[in-house]
Structure 1
Amino acid sequence: MGVNAAPQHRRPPDAAQAAGEVIELLEVLWERGRDAVSSSPVSASQLRVLYSLDRDEGINLRTLGEILGSAPSSVSRLCDRLQAIGFVERAQSPFSRRELELKLTGRGRAYLAELRARREAAMCTAIAAMPPAQREALVEGLKGFRTAVEATTPVHRPVMRPGAAQSA
């Protein structure tokens, strides 16, 4: 028999492994923030809907499905659940009688604001507990990460709504 390769946990982390570790750490941190927010927490998929509607107020189900990369029936069910807990409302589109716009309610906006504040507090507490040299390394690492994301991510273009005037 040949020599066994070093166990996976002893290899230096590659980009995918490092990304996985960062994601897991952020998920733990985010869950701490989410648990403290509300008696009606939302799933990760529902949270993506809330973030999307916060960025692109008034989009329709089809556009939301494209943003999320989800099937129309799945997006509709997500919105049904969010509407049932009072976070999302559907309104008639001013551009098309056949379309409905999706909007966050005041309660949905308040949930996102509180969630963001709790997550920021959890992040600040963790960062404050780090030695100064590690905080500086984190800042430098995040700057590099931002540069890489900007270099590899297509620019998000605003959603054109049907009937909206286009500038020449």
Structure 2
Amino acid sequence: MSSDQSDWNEPTLGFLVHDVARLLRKRLEQRARAAGIGLTRAQWQVLAYLARSEGLNQTALAQLLEIEPITLVRLIDRLEAMGFVERRSDPRDRRQRNLFLTEKARPELARIRALGAEVREEALTGIDQAERERLMATLSVIKTNLQRSSSLGEDGREREHG
């Protein structure tokens, strides 16, 4: 086997991170189905992002979730019909609607968080606390590096906004 071929067999950071994230999502979905949680992964994500940043408008939330605004509108419509999310008029701009969790959503979100903690513990079995902390710190540095470089243009200079 040539060295070019063996290079393709070596896991790269991108593939490994993608595979780990995919497997975490898959395992959480399995656990949620078994627990009788009647929400989709996309719906959990909306609730989780809203829990972090209540009062966002739909455009800002769609950007955070990296989904099309029309896709988010459908998700919000369903979550609102289920009684988990409410749209409120923005006091500064009546044309804009801001999103908030309802009290009914909070226990469901707590169940999902608990399942997430169990899945994370499953994934981290055999990894001691110091290694876990090092892993999180390293991933945080990688995230920061990529956020910083994604704000740069192709020429390496800061992009102008506005």
TM tier relative to shorter chain: 0.7 to 0.9
SS of equivalent to 2:86: strand
Contact 2:24 2:119 (8 Å CA) reproduced? no
Contact 1:36 1:118 (8 Å CA) reproduced? no
Tell which has more relative contact order, 1 or 2 (C-alpha 8 A, sep 6+): 1
* Greater Rg over alpha carbons, structure: 1
Structure 2: stretches of 5+ with no match in the other structure: 149-162
SS of equivalent to 2:98: strand
Report the RMSD for the aligned CA atoms in angstroms: 2.8
How far the C-alpha of 1:126 sits from its partner, in A, is 4.9
Q: Distance in 2 between matches of 1:71 and 1:28?
A: 23
Contact 2:80 2:86 (8 Å CA) reproduced? yes
The answer to whether structure 1 residue 98 and structure 2 residue 92 are counterparts is no
The answer to whether structure 1 residue 20 and structure 2 residue 14 are counterparts is no
Give the number of equivalent residue pairs.
Answer: 146
Quote the residue 1:73 is aligned against: 70
The answer to whether structure 1 residue 89 and structure 2 residue 83 are counterparts is no
> Which of 120, 144, 148 is equivalent to 2:138?
144
> Which of 21, 29, 50 is equivalent to 1:53?
50
Quote the residue 1:34 is aligned against: 32
- What's the TM-score once normalised by structure 2's chain length? 0.72
- What's the TM-score once normalised by structure 1's chain length? 0.70
Structure 1: stretches of 5+ with no match in the other structure: 155-168
SS of equivalent to 1:101: strand
SS of equivalent to 1:70: coil
> Which of 100, 115, 120 is equivalent to 2:117?
120
